Amino acid sequence: MSPVAIPLEDLVPEYIKHFTAYIPSKPDDELKKLYGCDQLYRLNNNENPLGPPAAARPIIEHFLAPGAAIYPSGDAYHLRQALGKKFGLDPDQFLVGNGANEVIAFVIKAFCQEGDNIVTADKTFAVYEWIAEFSGFAARLTPLLDFAFDAEAMLDAIDKRTKILFICNPNNPTGTYWNREQLTNFMDRVDGRQIVVIDEAYCEFVEKEDFPDGMELLRRYPNLVVFRTFSKMYALAGLRIGYLAGSLEIVDIIRRTCVVYSVNTLAQSAALKALNDDQHIIRTRNHIRQEKARILPLLNKLGLEYQSGEGCFIMIKLPMSDTLAYRKLMTKGIMIRSMTGFRFPNWIRVSIGTTEAMTAFAQALTELVGTDNKHLI
């Protein structure tokens, strides 16, 4: 007698039924065939156009095949030792994960239970919201104020079931940031009642003197958790490695939700070498600054509204649908991020790429908005 099949729908939680999966873009070779372009400039994912730091390249280029058969350090021991030394903290105050997405999940799983919620902004890195919701927890979203996180709105959104507040500093995609005074004032008003996560994925790009260093603030606020990544400034996005830092007490709790061996050997070894390559940071900052200085005057001359803050990207408002702009730019081999998914309809986000890529983008944008002022480029 054949078993009776249980309808799949009966096994799926309600919060999963109403959640829409994120569909990533096709591989570059497929995109080139689809849009009929020979060259593809990737200006969509905030990748570092200079590539990995010089110190990390030999590790990547000469990884020996037999090493692939051996499990990596389950807790990224050597990298945590180096992080502790660099920031003057106990190595046990760090947890390393498979990119930022995994460490976000670590924190949410550690502190949230049924009926709890998180608070963040409505136009920021969407993974805070996504992971909370597909884990069955509510995400309370507060509107940005002048493209920046609104501290008052976030504080007003807190209720007795709020466990975590997520702040992206500087914010992706707007590039705005809370300065030291704004952040410490917010932490003082939270007064230890919730966990506050400061996502500093783009902090290495910031040169402003009033930008707060989350690692320093850990000594003052035991309810603070800081996220950082090797994907952006350190150009190891393809290896998927990020980390969090917090008090020994908080990290001990979060560690209970970690999946060991999730960060591969190559990623750990490359990150260890990249960590102290300060010249790479200087070169990258110089490149970003120079390319923004070339692009922003063009946007002014084209009469386009834009938002250019800290970080390796610019947001631009177009006089057309952002999805239409994406398709048109793709036929010219320019891949940008359409921003409707970030709740910024008709805006695009452009990562700062190589000089060649930015020149190609400037030409394509000039043609896209219907002007023949090619002398502006």
Total number of domains constituting the chain: 2
Same domain, 263 and 344: no
Q: Residues 143, 144, 145, CA angle at the centre, nearest 5°?
A: 120
Specify whether 175 is located in the same domain as 233. Answer: yes
In the structure encoding, which two tokens stand for residue 200, read together?
């500093």
How sure is the predictor about 10, in pLDDT bands with cuts at 50, 70 and 90? confident
pLDDT of residue 29: 92
Residue 280 predicted with pLDDT over 60: yes
pLDDT at 374: 46
2 falls within a domain: no
Compute the C-alpha angle 254/255/259, nearest 5°: 115
pLDDT at 377 over 60: no
pLDDT of 353 > 90? The answer is: yes
pLDDT tier, 376 (very low <50, low <70, confident <90, very high otherwise) = very low
Both 301 and 182 in a single domain? no
Kindly report the average pLDDT of the chain as a whole number.
95
> 328 and 341 share a domain?
yes
Assign 2 a pLDDT band (cuts: 50, 70, 90).
low
Residue type, 27: P
231 and 150 belong to one structural domain: yes
Residue 346 lies in a domain: yes
Which two three-digit tokens encode residue 55?
Answer: 């110190």
Whole-angstrom distance, CA of residue 172 vs CA of residue 351? 11
pLDDT attached to residue 24? 85
Look at residues 274, 296, 314 and tell me which one is the last residue of a structural domain: 274
Residue 372 has pLDDT above 70, yes or no: no
Residue that terminates a domain, selected from 217, 239, 274: 274
- pLDDT class for 87, splitting at 50, 70, 90? very high
The string of pLDDT tens digits covering residues 13-29 is 988 888 888 888 899 99
Task: Point out the least confidently predicted range of 58-62, 114-118, 366-370.
Answer: 366-370
pTM strictly above 0.85: yes
pLDDT of residue 361: 98
DSSP symbols for 194-231: SEEEEE-TTGGG---TT---HHHHTTT-TTEEEEEESS
My answer on whether 318 and 338 are in the same domain is: yes
pLDDT for residue 375 is more than 60: no
How far from 43 is each of 21, 65, 115, 316, CA to CA, in Å? Answer: 23, 32, 39, 13
Whether residue 297 is contained in a domain is answered as yes
Distance CA 202, CA 345 (A): 23
Q: Which of 25-29, 207-211, 235-239, 355-359 has the lowest mean pLDDT?
A: 25-29
Q: What is the pLDDT of residue 15?
A: 87
Taking residue 176's Cβ as centre, other Cβ atoms within 10 Å add up to 19
Range of the domain at 350: 9-51+278-376
Asked if residue 266 and residue 117 are part of one domain, the reply reads yes
- Domain closes at, from 231, 246, 274: 274
pLDDT given for residue 373 in this prediction: 45
- Read off the tokens for 76: 């990224």
- Do 18 and 149 share a domain, yes or no? no
* pLDDT, tens only, 102-119: 999 999 999 999 999 999
Q: What is the pLDDT of residues 219-271, one digit of tens each?
A: 999 999 999 999 999 999 999 999 999 999 999 999 999 988 999 999 999 99
Does residue 127 carry a pLDDT above 80? yes
**pLDDT (tens digit, 9 = 90+) per residue, 136-171?**
999 999 999 999 999 999 999 999 999 999 999 999
pLDDT grade, residue 1 (50/70/90)?
low
My answer on whether 30 and 91 are in the same domain is no
* Contact indicator for 87, 235 with CB cutoff of 8 Å: no
Query: Which CATH number fits the domain that encloses residue 23?
Result: 3.90.1150.10
